[in-house]
Amino acid sequence: MRVILASGSPRRRELLAAAGLDFEVIPSPAEEIHDGALGMAALCEENARLKAVAVAEKHPEAAVIGADTLVFLEGEPLGKPKNLDEAASMLRRLSGKRHQVCTGFCIAGPAERLRTFHCVTDVFFKDLDNSTIDLYIAKTNPLDKAGGYGIQDHGEMIVSRIEGEFDNVMGLPVGAVIEALQEIGLPKGAI
């Protein structure tokens, strides 16, 4: 079965490659929605579905993986910051608090099969002062990451602990994705 990742995220690509999955990358042209009123799971799942379906329409024989990861602080979604000031503001808001990282993913499979899931991980931030935030931003690129941070990029500077899947915080709960692919027909030996 041909597998397509409908995302240009280098982290998702790394995670799937490390799992041994044979796949190709075709970034989705779908526009994300930003309606926090939908709630955490529904918003991430809907964005993942939009991304997967947009690519699956052109590749109906493939299993297409769409994904969307957002940081939620007290029920409010934090997407990717528009600039470094907004990234610093997000990190200040997350300082000393617990928040959730939700990744919705959708597998649009052959014969128009559609499976949508989500995974949530609790992330606990250290108390951050402005110098730590400035140093973190100087060492990373916070602009392409929900919430302005990547746990895999000097996460030890800002994160005290997590409860849940580390790879979910990076952008894709790989074990759950592979399980979903197997449910729609990917042979176990393909991984």
The CA distances from residue 135 to 29, 70, 151, in Å, are 34, 23, 15
Q: Which helix (H) or strand (E) holds 149?
A: none
Location of structure tokens 């997407």: 79
Contacts of 36 by beta carbon, 8 Å cutoff, 6+ apart: 43, 75, 76, 77
Distance of alpha carbon 33 from alpha carbon 47, whole angstroms: 6
Distance of alpha carbon 32 from alpha carbon 18, whole angstroms: 27
Query: Length of the chain, please?
Result: 191
Q: Which pLDDT score is estimated for 184? A: 84
Q: Which pLDDT score is estimated for 36? A: 85
Residue 186: helix, strand or coil by DSSP?
coil
Contacts of 112 by beta carbon, 8 Å cutoff, 6+ apart: 60
The stretches in the chain having pLDDT less than 70 are 187, 189-191
| Catalytic site positions | 68
Q: Which pLDDT score is estimated for 109? A: 85
What is the tens place of the pLDDT at every residue in 73-86? 998 999 899 999 99
Q: Which pLDDT score is estimated for 190? A: 62
Q: Which pLDDT score is estimated for 191? A: 63
All domains of the chain in start order, with CATH? 3-190 (3.90.950.10)
Do the beta carbons of residue 47 and residue 33 sit within 8 Å?
A: yes
